A and B are shown apart, each in its own frame.
Chain A
Amino acid sequence: GQQVMQIPQYQHVQEGEDFTTYCNSSTTLSNIQWYKQRPGGHPVFLIQLVKSGEVKKQKRLTFQFGEAKKNSSLHITATQTTDVGTYFCAGQGGSEKLVFGKGTKLTVNP
């Protein structure tokens, strides 16, 4: 079945440094979604990418969808303490089932 792998599992940065998490699917995706989960919270939808090679920006966050629609990345520029949390990618293949990666836990040292 479809698998989604995400790296790194953990990332610790100093405030102001950049951060990137990568996501790879074993199968071609129809779309990929990114979520953020704060400690003790629930996943909150950030963005959805649908088109091959798509790049979307939300302030300091940049999301990319690979040309083959099998990989994606999230890049945060100049991290802040408010960026702390676990970032999940979730892919949809030929069905509505969302397959989540294991997430990247980001900690930011002030």
Chain B
Amino acid sequence: DAGVTQSPTHLIKTRGQQVTLRCSPKSGHDTVSWYQQALGQGPQFIFQYYEEEERQRGNFPDRFSGHQFPNYSSELNVNALLLGDSALYLCASSGGQGLGETQYFGPGTRLLVL
């Protein structure tokens, strides 16, 4: 049973560029959440996708957008990259619609913006 997978594992970009990160949820899960974890901080919620729609969003600008595909995999897109976007980007999947569903995290993508 495959867990949550993310690609790429590492990425280096320059300011102003655009980046796309990918996530495949754990088998049987239909909900994907994205988090940004800056160095020394806890993960911060970006948004959550369910049934191919953004269901909730955290306090992130519109430069951060996402998509969920019919097979439940998801992409996170960040436009006009800033130095401050350098972080570990985590994807987490869960299997239900209700509160209290355990979220399983992937290994993350480490993004460095120069």
Contacts and interface: CB of A to CB of B under 8 A. Distances in A.
A85 interface: no
10 contacts: A31-B100, A35-B105, A41-B107, A42-B106, A43-B105, A44-B105, A96-B33, A96-B101, A100-B42, A100-B44
Contacts, number: 63
Contact of A103 (B42, B45, B56): B42
Given A43-B105, A88-B42, 18 more contacts: A1-B59, A33-B102, A42-B88, A42-B105, A42-B107, A42-B108, A43-B43, A44-B105, A48-B102, A88-B43, A90-B42, A92-B99, A96-B33, A96-B99, A98-B45, A98-B92, A100-B35, A102-B40
A50 B105 contact: no
A101 B42 contact: yes
A41 B88 CA distance: 10
A98 B108 contact: no
B41 A102 contact: yes
Of the four ranges (under 10, 10 to 19, 20 to 34, 35 or more), the interface on chain B belongs to 20 to 34
Contacts of A48: 100, 102
A99 interface: yes
Contacts of A59: none
Interface in B1-50: 31, 33, 35, 40-45, 48
B90 A31 contact: no
Interface in A23-44: 30-31, 33, 35, 41-44
Q: Which of A33, A43, A45 has the most CB of B within 10 A?
A: A43
Contact of B45 (A30, A41, A99): A99
A92 B108 CA distance: 22
Contacts of A95: 56, 99
Contact of A45 (B48, B59, B102, B106): B102
Q: Which of B45, B101, B104 has the most CB of A within 10 A?
A: B45
Interface string A59-97: 000000000000000000000000000001010100111
A48 B105 CA distance: 15
B108 A102 contact: no
